[in-house]
């Protein structure tokens, strides 16, 4: 076996193994080659090669999310590290434990006209939980201190809230010296979890109206215990609002179409829809309308539930009064017990719950009878999703249109809502597909697909299915009334084009489909036992896409109006 002769490289790789980092996404390079070679020879890791660092970071992110464990990405020095920036930001705002390992040249070479040499120390300090700069050393005392520092960095991957960690390791010339494996398993530092019981006695119950109580669930990974928590809180009079990204089961029976309800509801009724007590859990919320409602009609109290020691503490509705540092199931059990012990019959009113449920029942589902527009195509696809599928929803229009349809079965939903960018979506889906044997579907827009096409040149997992809705530009911009009269909309803002994914897909060896009818689309969706990744490209007209959405909203408005009359 041929390991790097550099002790600090061996120490890093040995500790990665000891801290159970199992997957490394590696990018080609010379300065980071001792790290790659040592990891390869140790045979303790799954290595995944991705050329483009912009893709590699998202592949690692997707792997980490589906496996629910830290995943490392390793790059060489210079601008390679900068290219990981967007995936690091996504991991930070989504609380995903992404370990970034960057090789660096000696500090003395900075600003001396040497190639691939830029400032890398603490470059991502604002969007990482821990940033460590590692100098090359052969001194035993220095290596002992380094083992401690590396342990602290790796340990922070498992702290709460989770997030990215950056280790920048300087490697001097000669880079490629080989030697025997000298690393001895060192002392591991372990973090012991804590259990906290909510202190409901600190709530001023007398000042709380306890009439309208809303639980708003943001983006979160699937937790089977959440369903029981929802049932408990609903029994206490809470109306529960959640989007697909909350990863709930259909039988949880929550209010999912609240954005549509708020879009068509007369603003005079908004005060009756706003809560007196708002309880939040999870991460990002997509709906702008619920944010506007909660900011305009602030609740008397806002309780945030979650094991989260992050700073600054998010207060998106400018009304936060209490933070309960427990998970939602524990919170629900404790709240139910507190109300029972203090002879409080319920938390919220049945009338408020029935109002939201009644409005949801009146919301008709958009049509799924054609693929001539993106809205219907998305609905048709969602109606065919199988139980247990993993589904990544693209940003901008895709994720918002998907929210207009119910899911017939439970699917694992992923979305890069930490930064809400269009970059890295296909790469994230590849990472997810590498981490599961189940079918993984990614449905994205054309600009998102073009942006991340580099990932298609790699050997893609056979369980990956990609759907590209190609309407020749950035469709969401054509839906904004404020842009309709702008002469720059088509060419510059909306980036109109006449390109196709076909050449890229076929060159990469994917099964490519371009359905023209519903039957052809269903046939492409329902293929049995495919042996390689596939890409389905559906062409629609950007104006007709906009018209379909407008027609649907008008239909919902009429349905609610008729019910009231």
Task: From residue 20, give the alpha-carbon distance in Å to each of 7, 16, 69, 186.
Answer: 20, 6, 9, 14
Average pLDDT over residues 227-247: 96
- pLDDT for 394 equals 96
Q: Which residues pair with 393 in a beta bridge?
A: 443
| Residue 324 vs residue 89, higher pLDDT | 89
How does strand 165-170 pair with strand 534-539?
Answer: unpaired
- pLDDT for 328 equals 94
Average pLDDT over residues 290-313: 85
d(CA 72, CA 164): 10
Digit-coded pLDDT (tens) for 149-170: 999 899 899 887 899 999 999 9
- pLDDT for 119 equals 81
Digit-coded pLDDT (tens) for 74-90: 999 989 999 999 999 99
- pLDDT for 192 equals 52
- pLDDT for 132 equals 96
The answer to whether 167 touches 132, Cβ cutoff 8 Å, is yes
Q: Which residues contact 46 (CB under 8 A, 6 or more apart)?
A: 22, 23, 24
pLDDT over 90 for what percent of the chain? 68
- Residue 500 Cα to chain centre, angstroms: 27
d(CA 425, CA 391): 11
- Residue 190 Cα to chain centre, angstroms: 27
pLDDT of 302 above 70: yes
Average pLDDT over residues 94-98: 96
pLDDT of 185 above 70: no
The answer to whether 127 touches 88, Cβ cutoff 8 Å, is yes
| Residue 198 vs residue 438, higher pLDDT | 438
Exposure of 116 by Cβ count < 10 A (0-12 exposed, 13-18 middle, 19+ buried)?
A: middle
- pLDDT for 535 equals 97
How does strand 23-26 pair with strand 71-75?
Answer: parallel
How does strand 178-179 pair with strand 213-217?
Answer: unpaired
Q: Which residues contact 77 (CB under 8 A, 6 or more apart)?
A: 29, 31, 32, 102, 103, 104, 105, 116, 117, 118, 120
Q: Which residues contact 334 (CB under 8 A, 6 or more apart)?
A: 197, 198, 200, 326
Tokens for 255, please give them: 């209010």
Question: Is the torsion defined by CA of 314, 319, 321, 323 positive or negative?
Answer: negative
**Closest to 449 in 3D by CA, of 492, 501, 396, 491:** 501
Residue in the structure block whose two tokens are 């939040």:
280
**Closest to 151 in 3D by CA, of 130, 136, 137:** 130
**Mean pLDDT lowest for which of 211-220, 475-484, 545-554?**
475-484
pLDDT of 120 above 90: no
Residue-averaged pLDDT of the chain? 90
Task: Give the DSSP per-residue string, 229-276.
Answer: HHHHHHHTTEEEEE-GGG---GGG--B--HHHHHHHS-GGGHHHHS-S
d(CA 476, CA 465): 24
**Does residue 492 have a cis peptide bond before it, meaning omega lies within 30 degrees of 0?**
no
d(CA 425, CA 55): 9
**Mean pLDDT lowest for which of 110-124, 359-373, 428-442?**
110-124
- pLDDT for 191 equals 55
Confidence of residue 107 (pLDDT cuts 50, 70, 90): confident
- pLDDT for 140 equals 85
**Mean pLDDT lowest for which of 14-18, 157-161, 371-375?**
157-161
Exposure of 493 by Cβ count < 10 A (0-12 exposed, 13-18 middle, 19+ buried)?
A: middle
Residue in the structure block whose two tokens are 């199992």:
22
pTM: 0.91
Average pLDDT over residues 487-514: 84
Q: Which residues contact 28 (CB under 8 A, 6 or more apart)?
A: 49, 51, 76
Cα dihedral 337, 334, 323, 293 in deg (nearest 10) = -70
Q: What is the 3-state secondary structure (H, E, C) of 124-180?
A: CHHHCCEEEEECCCCCHHHHHHHHHHHHHHHHHHHCCCCCCEEEEEECCCCCCCEEC
Q: How many CB atoms are located within 10 Å of the residue 451 CB?
A: 17
d(CA 424, CA 90): 10
Average pLDDT over residues 281-285: 94
The answer to whether 159 touches 195, Cβ cutoff 8 Å, is no
- Mapping DSSP to helix (H, G, I), strand (E, B) and coil, where does residue 213 land? strand
The answer to whether 99 touches 467, Cβ cutoff 8 Å, is no
d(CA 425, CA 431): 10
Highest-scoring range by mean pLDDT, 106-115, 148-157, 290-299, 310-319? 290-299
Domains of the chain with bracketed CATH:
3-179 (3.40.50.970), 200-362 (3.40.50.1220), 374-554 (3.40.50.970)
**Mean pLDDT lowest for which of 39-43, 112-116, 179-183, 506-510?**
112-116
- DSSP 8-state code for residue 478: G
């Amino acid at each position: 076996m041929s390991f790097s002769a550099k002790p600090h490289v061996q120490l890093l790789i040995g500790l990665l193994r000891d801290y159970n980092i199992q997957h490394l996404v590696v990018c080609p390079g010379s300065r980071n080659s001792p790290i790659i070679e040592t990891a390869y020879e140790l045979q303790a890791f799954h290595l995944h090669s991705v050329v483009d660092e912009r893709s590699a970071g998202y592949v690692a992110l997707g792997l980490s999310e589906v496996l629910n464990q830290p995943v490392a990405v390793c790059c060489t020095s210079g601008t390679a590290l900068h290219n990981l920036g967007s995936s690091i930001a996504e991991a930070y705002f989504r609380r995903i434990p992404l370990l970034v390992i960057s090789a660096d040249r000696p500090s003395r070479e900075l600003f001396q006209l040497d190639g691939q040499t830029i400032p890398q120390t603490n470059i991502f300090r604002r969007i990482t939980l821990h940033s460590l700069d590692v100098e090359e050393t052969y001194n035993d005392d220095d290596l002992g201190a380094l083992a401690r520092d590396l342990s602290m960095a790796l340990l922070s991957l498992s702290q709460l809230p989770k997030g990215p960690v950056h280790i920048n390791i300087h490697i001097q010339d000669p880079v490629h010296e080989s030697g025997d494996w000298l690393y001895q398993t060192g002392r591991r530092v372990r973090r012991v979890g804590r259990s906290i019981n909510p202190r409901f006695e600190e709530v001023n119950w007398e000042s709380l109206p306890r009439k309208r109580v809303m639980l708003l669930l943001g983006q979160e990974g699937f937790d089977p215990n959440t369903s029981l928590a929802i049932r408990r809180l609903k029994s206490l009079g809470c109306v529960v609002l959640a989007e697909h990204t909350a990863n709930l089961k259909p039988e949880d029976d929550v209010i999912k179409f609240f954005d549509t309800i708020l879009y068509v509801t007369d603003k005079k009724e908004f005060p009756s829809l706003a809560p007196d007590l708002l309880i939040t859990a999870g991460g990002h919320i997509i709906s702008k309308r619920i944010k506007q409602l909660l900011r305009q009609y602030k609740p008397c109290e806002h309780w945030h539930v979650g094991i989260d020691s992050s700073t600054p503490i998010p207060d998106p509705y400018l009304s936060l009064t209490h933070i309960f540092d427990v998970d939602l199931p524990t919170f629900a059990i404790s709240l139910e017990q507190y109300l029972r012990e203090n002879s409080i019959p319920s938390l919220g009113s049945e009338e408020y719950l029935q109002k939201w449920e009644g409005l949801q029942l009146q919301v008709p589902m958009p049509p799924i009878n054609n693929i001539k527009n993106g809205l219907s195509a998305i609905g048709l696809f969602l109606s065919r999703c199988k139980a247990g599928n993993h589904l990544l929803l693209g940003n901008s229009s895709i994720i918002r249109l998907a929210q207009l349809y119910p899911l017939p079965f439970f699917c694992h939903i992923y979305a890069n809502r930490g930064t809400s960018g269009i970059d890295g979506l296909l790469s994230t889906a590849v990472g997810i597909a590498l981490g599961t044997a189940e079918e993984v579907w990614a449905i994205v827009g054309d600009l998102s697909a073009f942006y991340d096409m580099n990932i298609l040149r790699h050997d893609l997992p056979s369980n990956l299915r990609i759907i590209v809705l190609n309407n020749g530009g950035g469709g969401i911009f054509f839906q904004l009334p404020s842009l309709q009269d702008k002469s720059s909309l088509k060419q510059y803002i909306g980036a109109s084009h006449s390109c196709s994914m076909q050449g890229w897909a076929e060159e990469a060896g994917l099964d490519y489909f371009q359905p023209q009818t519903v039957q052809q689309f269903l046939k492409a969706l329902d293929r049995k036992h495919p042996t390689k990744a596939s890409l389905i490209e559906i062409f629609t007209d950007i104006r007709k896409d906009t018209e379909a959405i407008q027609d649907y909203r008008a239909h919902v408005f009429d349905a609610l109006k008729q019910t009231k009359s």
